[in-house]
Amino acid sequence: MNDIFEDLQWRGLIHQTTADELLPQWLSSGSRTVYAGFDPTADSLHVGSLLPLMMLRRFQKAGHRPIAIAGGATGMIGDPSGKSAERNLQTPEQLAANLAGIESQMRHVLDFECGEASAVLVNNNDWMSQFSYIEFLRDVGKNFPVNVMLGKESVKSRLSSEAGLSYTEFSYMLLQAYDFVHLHREHGCELQIGGSDQWGNVTAGIDLGRRMLGAQLYGMTCPLLTKTDGSKMGKTESGAIWLSAKRTSPYKFYQYWLNVADEDTGTCLRFLTELERSEIEALDESRVSAPQQRASQKKLAEELTRLIHGSAGLAAALQATEIFFGAEIENLDDRQLIDIFADVPSCELPAAELSGEGLGLMDALVKSGLMKSNGEARRAIKQGGIYINNRRVGEIDRRLTSVDLTSETVVVLRSGKKKYALLRFSN
pLDDT tens, 162-208? Answer: 777 888 777 888 889 999 999 999 999 999 999 998 998 899 999 99
pLDDT (0 to 100) of residue 78:
59
pLDDT at 279: 98
Distance between CA atoms of residues 93 and 89, nearest Å = 12
Answer whether 12's CB lies under 8 Å from 30's CB.
no
pLDDT band at 86; cut points 50, 70, 90: very low
Residue 170: the pLDDT is 79
Residue 138 pLDDT: 92
99-129 tens-digit pLDDT: 888 888 898 999 999 999 999 999 898 999 8
Q: What is the pLDDT of residue 41?
A: 81
- The residue ranges of DSSP E strands in 282-361, in sequence order, are 346-350, 359-360
How confident is the model over 210-233, as a mean pLDDT? Answer: 94
Residue 87 has pLDDT above 60, yes or no: no
- The pLDDT value recorded for residue 46 is 92
Our CA dihedral for 93, 97, 100, 106, rounded to 10 degrees, sits at -120
pLDDT at 72 over 90: no
Q: Which residue has the higher pLDDT, 404 or 153?
A: 404
Residue 213 pLDDT more than 70?
Answer: yes
pLDDT in tens, 306-360: 999 999 999 989 988 898 888 888 888 898 888 888 878 889 999 999 999 999 9
Which contacts of 349-352 are long-range, i.e. CB under 8 A and separated by 24 or more positions?
349/423, 349/424, 349/425, 349/426, 350/425, 350/426, 350/427, 351/402, 351/409, 351/425, 351/426, 351/427
Q: Which of 259-268, 279-288, 327-336, 387-396 has the lowest mean pLDDT?
A: 327-336
The model's pTM: 0.84
Task: Indicate the pairing of strand 65-70 with strand 120-123.
Answer: parallel
What's the pLDDT score for residue 88? 55
For each of the domains in the chain, give its residue range(s) and CATH number, in order of start: 4-222 (3.40.50.620), 249-324 (1.10.240.10), 339-426 (3.10.290.10)
- What one-character DSSP code corresponds to residue 329? P
Half-sphere exposure of 152 (CA within 13 A, CB side): 28
Reported as a single tens digit per residue, the pLDDT across 1-47 is: 568 999 999 999 999 999 888 899 999 999 999 999 998 888 899 99
Average confidence (pLDDT) over 267-276: 97
Give pLDDT, residue 55.
97
Q: What is the mean pLDDT of the chain?
A: 90
Q: Is the pLDDT of residue 85 over 50?
A: no
In this predicted structure, what is the pLDDT of residue 236?
A: 78
The pLDDT value given to residue 288: 95
Give the pLDDT confidence score for residue 160 in this predicted structure: 81
Percent of the chain with pLDDT over 90: 66
Half-sphere CA count of 243, side-chain side, radius 13 A:
26
